[in-house]
A and B are shown apart, each in its own frame.
Chain A
Amino acid sequence: MISVNIDGKEVQVPEDSSILKAAEKAGIWIPTMCYSELFEPYGVCRLCSVEVIRGRRSRVVTACNYPVREGLTVLTNSEKIQWIRKMIMEMMLSRWPNVGVVKDMATRLGVTKPRFESLEKDEDPNACILCGMCVNACKELVKAEVLGFAYRGIKREVVLPFDKKSAECIVCGACAHVCPTGHVKMIIEDYRGKKPEFTLGAKTAIYVPSMQAVPRVPVIDTESCIHFKTDGCETCSKVCEPQAINYKMEDEIIEFEVGQILVATGFDIFDATPMAQYGYGRYDNVYSSLEFEYLLNSTGPTGGKILLKNGKEPRAVGIIHCIGSRDTNHHPYCSRVCCMYALKFAHLIHDRTRAAIYQFYIDMRAFGKGYEEFYSRLLNEGITMIRGKAAEVVEASKSKEDEGKLLIRCEDTLIGKFREIPVDMVILCNAIEPRKDSDTVKKLFSMSKSPDGFFLERHPKLDPTSTMTDGILIAGCAQGPKDIPDTVAQASSAAARILSLIAKGEVEIDPICATVQEEFCSGCKICNNLCPYSAIEFLIDKNISHVNEVLCKGCGTCVAACPSGAMTGSGFTDKQIYAELEGLLEI
């Protein structure tokens, strides 16, 4: 630590600190225009000029990049400095009279009108003030080194290489982010990035997945993070005091040996984009149920306020049931939970706004404990229930004021009339559907799927948590649409089954198993590579094959393949099947 005297104040700062840092510590403001903590001081705006006194000599230096020395005396507000600052500001103001940051700084430094005219006067409020922030961000932070200066003197300007679109640019947007005047803009011509989970708000590359995430720590989206593209940036690491950010961490596959697996892979929600009549993805204020749930959440983008995309509160909200469910074109089944969450939405909208609420339903299915009561309560809250599936959602704005207004068209089957309801916001009750990767999961665990695409249970009534594969259990929406109490019940039952087997300590394996009758096996090796479980080993000393009973799953392929008939087994023997054939074909 060394001590420095700034404007008569003594401060202790580490060696190699800049005067600017020392002044900050001393609580003295030094104006800057091109300085950012994120990268090395550039010293181009000269606005941070200060007077440095050493013995009897005095010098003017730039505070941002001049390192302190022991016993240094700094004057930041001397007459000389004030004169320099004003001159700089007058020159800047004469060249860029309308740029916000320049005007603000000029006002602050007491410059109102420049005394002279600039030859390169630029009246654009977003003009480039040549601060070099963008160039430095690109070079030092992002390490892409795409942006640079061209030409000299008053002709100087920021350019891309050869003034062309550059393949080196990773479209990170750091330059636009640091630009103080808004001169650098992002123009996204071809957005190939992945679709964000919810389109309700932009996310940074480092983010906490959700407020309920366990553990609640931020994750880095390596596809978007600049560091993973150029090795640069590391801004998050610079600001993280506990130094918790580790860019070297990688996804790793950890193998566990387990005896039973509970498959509770959940569901996907039906994408309503193909149902063009409801305008999902076309109109700003048509939400999927999950998006609206996110909007309702106090940690969501609006902090739980129900707002339209333009920030206003909706005056009328339409909730359309059975989007993709109970629909022969999509899913014939009922998704079970939608009626109830639609009622919950209505209740919360009623609670938080003064909007009129319309529910468009086919049938109300309030099947669970307390659900019917909730439905009755909602009816008393003044919600309009319209029995009939909405036909379409169309744009209804006729003037600029009611831009974004929507119109829901439907047939009210209770009164037998066609109705058009104007609303501000539409919430779609998307169907619950099997996960996109359910086929892969199915194969992985040798499960089956029922016609609706959900995993098939062993028996629909008597064994709804087991599958055909021993040791593989299913629970929740992976097995079929269900609400939280049902899921909890099924998952608990599955867990109990797992525990009961663990407590027992042993498993019963299927008695169906192949065996080799050694006296008939000649070791032709037809069977050995047929077995997908490698249960057939070859005994070299005896020159015969042998079945490992523990590995054998009893499919019988080897029994069928054995040309000598030496392979047989318990269950489904040739003899049994011939007897079955004889019995079946007797009459």
Chain B
Amino acid sequence: MSKPKLALYWAASCGGCEIAVLDIEEKILDVADFFDIVFWPVALDFKYKDVEAMPDKNIDLCLFNGSIRTSENEHLAHLLRKKSKVLVAFGSCAHEGCIPGLANLYKKEDILNFVYKESPSTINEAGIFPQTKFKVNGNEIDLPEFYESVKPLDEVVPVEYYIPGCPPQPPQILAVISLIIEGKPLPPPGSIVGAGEKTCCDECTRTREEKKIKKFYRPFEIVSKPDQCLLDQGILCMGPATRSGCGALCVSANMPCRGCYGAPPNSLDQGTKMISALSSVIDSQDPEEVERIINNIADLVGTLYRFSLPSSILKQKKILRSGQNASN
């Protein structure tokens, strides 16, 4: 009997998820032993055509990390979906869009303009911008198209499972893979695996009091007490609105939770839920004072949706059609 086939792919991502796979340490050898790795662009030399040549549903398990930013990402998502029995959105980018998803606050042309022309370190006098078709030596080649917005993987193709986290924590990865290796029954499709059902607070060891916030601080503005809830101290910690699973890593390093594990099971939208919670504990009954207090929060949308903007309800900043004026 042949070994089950494993594929790993990265779309729009930083590569951290791949490192996280390696971070399971010597257990990677068990994985390599159990699986036949058929596709892993970061580590092994396979070509797309190798995958295209495979029969459908040939890959038993495909860990897909990265969000869908370009046409290449999308193509591979469709391809791997076709060739895989189980497609897993691996890591926050594939799950919710993650940091690349914050690009959804800008229009495509603004991003290209900045990157290829306006950024201080760019000299592009010829005004060359990425093209989708390019002629070289008389042959025309196709280049990936940069999409208007970033999407999580499940908006392009259906996925069986999600493993959240930026990156997913190695023990959680190991736990999921061991499940397969040990042949245990799998959870129903659509499940989020490798994470808890509660929120980050469940894993946080700090002591919490009933909250009353008079002022929000950024982490560098205050010497926080190491054993007291950060939100109690006025540091905007996303922990209460973030799924557990990481072991409260950031908080134990004295940094507020940034929310990479995404919304907990009963929450539809991480950001608005957090708004609701935060505003409930702001200690003021005067609208003007409330306004002053929330003005202390730097980059509200970036804080609330640092990892989940493309999968939030509104998904992106509103695109204005030509002729419409920007509201700000």
Contacts and interface: CB of A to CB of B under 8 A. Distances in A.
Q: Do chains A and B touch in the complex (CB under 8 A)?
A: yes
A118 interface: no
A237 interface: no
A543 B207 CA distance: 11
B27 to A, nearest CB: 29
B244 interface: yes
A563 B266 contact: no
B264 interface: yes
A186 interface: no
Contacts of B268: 565, 574, 578
Given A517-B266, A523-B208, A525-B208, A564 B199 contact: yes
Contacts of B276: 560-561, 563
A565 B198 CA distance: 10
Interface in A553-587: 557, 560-566, 568, 574, 578
Contacts of B267: 563-565
A527 B280 CA distance: 8
A529 B210 contact: yes
A526 B211 contact: yes
A526 B202 CA distance: 13
Interface in A427-485: none
Contacts of A519: 197-198
B211 A520 contact: no
B201 interface: yes
B273 interface: yes
Nearest to A561: B280
B5 interface: no
A528 interface: yes
B296 to A, nearest CB: 18
B265 A565 contact: yes
Most buried by A among B199, B273, B274: B199
Contacts of A525: 208-211, 229
Interface in B238-282: 239-241, 244, 264-268, 273-274, 276-277, 280-281
A523 B202 contact: yes
Given A563-B199, A563-B276, A565-B273, A524 B266 contact: no
A560 B280 CA distance: 9
Contacts of A499: none
Given A523-B202, A563-B273, A564-B241, A528 B197 contact: no
Nearest to A568: B266
A528 B274 CA distance: 16
Interface residues of A, number: 25
Contacts of B208: 523-525
Contacts of A523: 201-202, 208
Given A525-B211, A526-B277, A529-B211, A520 B198 contact: yes
B85 interface: no
A223 B199 CA distance: 62
B232 to A, nearest CB: 8
A552 interface: no
Nearest to B273: A563
Interface in A475-528: 517, 519-528
B218 to A, nearest CB: 20
A564 B266 contact: yes
A216 B10 CA distance: 93
Given A517-B266, A522-B244, A529 B212 contact: yes
Contacts of B265: 520, 565
B200 interface: yes
A160 B291 CA distance: 62
A530 interface: yes
B264 A526 contact: no
Contacts of A530: 280-281
Interface string B192-220: 00000111111000001111100000000
B197 to A, nearest CB: 6
B326 to A, nearest CB: 26
Given A519-B197, A523-B201, A565 B266 contact: yes
A561 B201 CA distance: 15
Given A519-B197, A526-B211, A529-B210, A566 B202 contact: no
Contacts of B264: 520, 563-566
A233 to B, nearest CB: 49
B142 to A, nearest CB: 41
Contacts of B198: 519-522, 564, 566
Contacts of B244: 522
Contacts of A565: 264-268, 273
A7 to B, nearest CB: 84
A447 B201 CA distance: 40
Contact of A562 (B209, B210, B212, B277): B277
Nearest to B265: A520
A560 B267 CA distance: 11
A578 B267 CA distance: 13
A83 B198 CA distance: 112
A499 B195 CA distance: 57
A41 B145 CA distance: 117
Given A519-B197, A563-B240, A526 B280 contact: yes
B210 A528 contact: yes
Contacts of B212: 529
Contact of B280 (A520, A557, A566): A557
Contact of A522 (B210, B231, B240, B280): B240
Contacts of A561: 276-277, 280-281
A520 B229 CA distance: 19
A526 B266 contact: no
A413 to B, nearest CB: 52
A566 B198 CA distance: 9
Contacts of A557: 280
A522 B199 contact: yes
A135 B67 CA distance: 100
Contacts of B210: 525, 528-529
Contacts of A566: 198, 264, 266
Nearest to A578: B268
A563 B279 CA distance: 11
Interface string A517-555: 101111111111110000000000001000000000000
B199 A524 contact: yes
Contacts of B277: 524, 526, 561-563
7 contacts: A524-B199, A525-B229, A529-B212, A561-B281, A563-B264, A564-B198, A566-B198
Q: 7 nearest interchain CB pairs? A: A565-B266, A522-B202, A563-B241, A561-B280, A563-B277, A524-B240, A522-B201
Interface of B: 197-202, 208-212, 229, 231, 239-241, 244, 264-268, 273-274, 276-277, 280-281
Given A517-B266, A520-B197, 13 more contacts: A520-B264, A520-B265, A523-B201, A523-B202, A526-B211, A529-B210, A563-B241, A563-B264, A563-B276, A564-B264, A565-B265, A565-B266, A565-B268
